[in-house]
Structures are given as structure tokens and as C-alpha cells.
Chains A and B, each alone.
Chain A
Amino acid sequence: MINKFKNSPEEAIADIPDGSTIGVGGFSYAGSPLTLVKALAVRKVKNLTIVGMTPTSYGALIESGSIQKLISPYPSWGLKARHLNPLEELWRRGELEVEIIPMGSLAERLRAAGAGLGPFYCPVGIGTEMERGKEKRVFNNKEYLLEFPMPLDYAFVKGHKGDRFGNVCCRLTTKNYNPVMAMAAKITIVEVDEMVEPGGIDPEATHIPGIFVNRVVLTQEKPKVDWWLKQVVKTKGRRVDEGAD
């Protein structure tokens, strides 16, 4: 019988070696696999390359000193929250390498890796510091930069429901990077709010088909939303995080 369910997050992440490249899904707290991230932080794995959108998703691995390199469109997100502060300090001291990447280019590089494609030309970043080190080419009078696929050793994904075949459905705005990360990784580990029998997910609402998923565990970790709620109310929703104002 096929069974991708694992008994604990510890079991699901037990084989991840030092130096792995791991994609972490999530945008702010939505779709962030906090249980898996925390379990890995406890294991004190070293020299990881983390690919992910916001520190709210992978913050525990910053605190545990597990990250050598961060590849992210928005590493400054939510740094006013005390538990995420170490990121900027580590970066200033040169102890953490940070590579900035445009949000959509990251999505497409992950997808290309998952889809078996090679490099592709993308117009994003022309005329900016993102051009640095990239091949530039003109097609039909428009400039493009050569972008490479971004394969992952592991992906940490957050879903709402999952079955033992690895089928996953996601709630509301929690999909974000989760499906493309699941495609880009050799091993995809998903944490879900609810484990269901096959058939327990509407086949028309299977957002990540089981073929992309290797392991499924139950979510244990809830996000620290109190800080976020306070920011929303205090700033009337205007300035929840860093960013142009």
C-alpha cells in the first residue's frame, strides 16, 4: 500500500544533510511550513541554502544559525518582528550570504527546474542591479536576461488537506510558492492541517498532485499572528512590513 504519511515532522526531515538546498513555501504566514522549519532548526543542520519568499516562513532556521545562503525576493520582510531580527545582523556581519531575486523570476526558475526546462530569457530587471553577471540578449527589439532553472534538494510545503498518495489542497492565498517548490524539489515534504483518506480531497481542487509529493506530516506549529494583527490594526493596514510607502 502506498503511504506517504510520516508519523512526525522529525521523521520526515531526518535524512536532510548539511549543505542541502531547501525551498520553503509561504508568503508572510500564509502557506508557511512552520512545523518542518522548526523541526529542522532543532536538528542543528548546517550550511543550508534556503530559497523562500519571506523570513516569516524560514525564521527559525535563521535563529538556529543553519543558513549559509539565502535566496529570496523579500528577505527584509517583517524584520521589525523581534524574532526575525538576527537576519539583518548576520547579513551585515557577512555571516549570511543573501541573494536577491525578483519574485516572479524565482517562481519561473523553480517551475523551469521542475518542468525539465533549461535556461530562459526574462525581461525583468533590465536596467537595474539585477543585470549583474547575467547574459543579456535582444529579441524583437526588447532586452532580456538569461535566467537559470533553480532545482531544489528538498521542498518544505504547507497544505490544508493531504492524503496518503501525497495529493494536497491549499486554502485561500496559501498556494503562493508551494506548488512550484513541490515541482522543483527531488524530495518534497508537505505539512497539512488535516490528513484525509484518498477521496477526502475534491479531485477538482487538488492543487498539488501526489506525483510531486514524497512525504506528508501533520502541522503542529501555529504562526505568531499576534504581532501581525497588532501591526495591521496599529497602522490601519498601511505598513505591515518594510517597503516603499
Chain B
Amino acid sequence: MKGLTRELMCLRAANELKEGMYVNLGTGLPSQVKDFVEEEIIFQSENGALGYAPTIWDEELMDYELIDASAVPVGMKPGVSFFDVSTSFVMLRGGYIDVAIVGAFQVSERGDLANYKEKKDVLSTPGGIMDICSGVKRVIVLMEHVTREGKIKIVNECSLPVTAKGVVSTIITDLAYIDVTQEGLLLKEIVPGLSLEEVQTVTEPKLIVSKSLQEFML
């Protein structure tokens, strides 16, 4: 099944962001979304930065004391501010952040998020994601539709430990754009060349197809 490249996934997620929004990005793929925006969007990183500039790729310019929450070196730009974790989580828990874009191992039909523990005997931990989900206005999941082994990630019920209950409002994958609604999962966009049946076979809950279903908005 031919899906979007990781760059195009980031671009699709970036299209959800509007000028002036305050946005927190999770580790992994979501952290790259900041490199795909042109408008003035203020990114917040839970380790204590607001309004930082995109990733630094030049090894000479990398500073280990200027990083985002993925420990990736980022840049400075006018208007950036730095603070401690107490202030940072006031922003996150207190409802000041408009959007969080996070990764996931599983998302359920009701918007439960599981994104910190793949296996029981592996030391894998939530970091700040539980705090982020408790206060951010809108949580968008950005992930591959299935695992590398082809296992389904959008499920009826999460079998992995849940990070936060009923918090996900939108799922963006390499194959589809899906809104979590009271009635169920609403399929709104699909990758060109893919049939509805093909998307349904890799999605456990029955998808509701939007009347305005369209190809990915890129």
C-alpha cells in the first residue's frame, strides 16, 4: 500500500496549524513538523522553550544546551523564550497550548491514546505526554497507519497501556486523515490511488466515510 512519505505526512500535519497558534510537538516524526511551516506559529517544547527556530543540521552550529524535547538541536530567533519545567507545564496543563501533535503505537475508536509502552518487560516511559494530553486543547496523532510488521494501530480498544483517555481528536497517517467523533471514526481524506476498502482492511473500527471525502490536502 503506497502511502505518503514522512515529509508529506509532516506537511499535512503542518497544514492544520494556523498563524498565531501555540503548538507542542511530540518526539519522533511529530518533532519534524516545525520544519514544514511558513506562517508565524509558536512552538513550545516541554523541556522549556517557546518560539524556537527549526532544527539545526550543521554540526558546527549545534549546541547541546539548546534543544527541543526530542533532544534535537534547535535554533534561536527573535522572540524566543526559555523557562523551567514548572512554567512549561503550566502552559501545557493549564490549557494555553492550542495543539499537540504526537506519535502513537495505538489509537482507539474513542480517541484513547497509547504511545509510551510497546512491551511489558521494556523500560519505556511517558515523559511529559500524559501531562500534555491533560491540558492541550486539541491532540492530533501523526503516525504510520500500521506498524513496520503490518499490524493494525487504529483499534477498537487499546491493548497497550493507555497514555490518556479519549483525548485524540484527529489521526493523520500515511494513508488517511480521520477525525474522532462521537459517532465513530470519520474518514475525511485519503491518499491518492487507495480504495476505501483498502483503508478499512488496515483499520479495525468501522470507518464512517465523510460526504466530502477527498484526496489528501497538501
Of B58-66, B169-177, B204-212, the segment with at least 4 beta carbons within 8 Å of chain A is: B58-66
Q: Please determine whether A29 and B64 come into contact, CB atoms closer than 8 angstroms.
A: yes
Q: Please determine whether B71 and A87 come into contact, CB atoms closer than 8 angstroms.
A: no
Question: Given A73-B125, A100-B125, A172-B66, A245 and B28 touching (CB < 8 A)?
Answer: yes
Question: Given A74-B127, A75-B125, A232-B73, A104 and B84 touching (CB < 8 A)?
Answer: no
Q: Which residue of A lies closest to B161 (CB)?
A: A129
Q: Please determine whether B127 and A228 come into contact, CB atoms closer than 8 angstroms.
A: no
Complex interface residues of chain A between 223 and 245 (CB less than 8 A to chain B)? 223, 225, 228-229, 232-233, 236-245
Complex interface residues of chain B between 40 and 70 (CB less than 8 A to chain A)? 45-49, 55, 57, 59, 62-67, 69-70
Please tell me if B123 contacts chain A, counting CB pairs below 8 Å: yes
Please tell me if A199 contacts chain B, counting CB pairs below 8 Å: no
Of A12-20, A37-45, A119-127, A210-218, the segment with at least 4 beta carbons within 8 Å of chain B is: A119-127
A130 to B31, CA, bound (A): 25
Q: Find B85's partner among A107, A171, A207 (CB 8 Å cutoff).
A: A107
Q: Which residue of A lies closest to B76 (CB)?
A: A172
Of A3-11, A133-141, A148-156, A176-184, the segment with at least 4 beta carbons within 8 Å of chain B is: A176-184
Q: Please determine whether A174 and B70 come into contact, CB atoms closer than 8 angstroms.
A: no
Interface size on B, residues (CB 8 A): 63
A104 to B134, CA, bound (A): 11
Please tell me if B116 contacts chain A, counting CB pairs below 8 Å: yes
Please tell me if B178 contacts chain A, counting CB pairs below 8 Å: no
Q: Please determine whether B47 and A124 come into contact, CB atoms closer than 8 angstroms.
A: no
Q: Please determine whether A173 and B85 come into contact, CB atoms closer than 8 angstroms.
A: no
Q: Please determine whether A229 and B103 come into contact, CB atoms closer than 8 angstroms.
A: no
Q: Please determine whether A232 and B62 come into contact, CB atoms closer than 8 angstroms.
A: yes
Q: Please determine whether A104 and B85 come into contact, CB atoms closer than 8 angstroms.
A: yes
Q: Please determine whether B82 and A172 come into contact, CB atoms closer than 8 angstroms.
A: yes
B72 partner residues in chain A, CB cutoff 8 A:
232, 237, 240
Q: Please determine whether B71 and A28 come into contact, CB atoms closer than 8 angstroms.
A: yes
Q: Find A172's partner among B26, B65, B163 (CB 8 Å cutoff).
A: B65
Q: Which residue of A lies closest to B70 (CB)?
A: A240
Pick from B71, B83, B143 the residue with the most CB of A within 10 Å: B71
Instruction: Indicate with 1 or 0, residue by residue over B83-107, a CB within 8 angstroms of chain A CB atoms.
Output: 1111011001100000000111100
Interface size on A, residues (CB 8 A): 65
Please tell me if B165 contacts chain A, counting CB pairs below 8 Å: yes
Q: Please determine whether A178 and B84 come into contact, CB atoms closer than 8 angstroms.
A: yes
B32 partner residues in chain A, CB cutoff 8 A:
236-238
Please tell me if A27 contacts chain B, counting CB pairs below 8 Å: yes
Q: Please determine whether B59 and A229 come into contact, CB atoms closer than 8 angstroms.
A: yes
Q: Which residue of B lies closest to A28 (CB)?
A: B71
Please tell me if B192 contacts chain A, counting CB pairs below 8 Å: no
Please tell me if B8 contacts chain A, counting CB pairs below 8 Å: no
B45 partner residues in chain A, CB cutoff 8 A:
173
B66 partner residues in chain A, CB cutoff 8 A:
30, 172-173
Please tell me if B121 contacts chain A, counting CB pairs below 8 Å: yes
Question: Given A100-B126, A175-B83, A243-B127, A128 and B64 touching (CB < 8 A)?
Answer: no
Question: Given A102-B126, A126-B165, A241 and B27 touching (CB < 8 A)?
Answer: yes
A75 partner residues in chain B, CB cutoff 8 A:
123, 125
Point out residues on A near B: beta carbons under 8 Å: 27-31, 72-79, 87-88, 91-92, 98, 100, 102-108, 110-111, 122-130, 170-180, 207, 223, 225, 228-229, 232-233, 236-245
Point out residues on B near A: beta carbons under 8 Å: 6, 26-29, 31-32, 45-49, 55, 57, 59, 62-67, 69-73, 76, 82-86, 88-89, 92-93, 102-105, 112, 115-116, 121-131, 134-135, 143, 161-166
9 A-B pairs closest in CB distance:
A104-B89, A104-B131, A103-B128, A127-B165, A244-B103, A28-B71, A244-B115, A243-B27, A245-B28
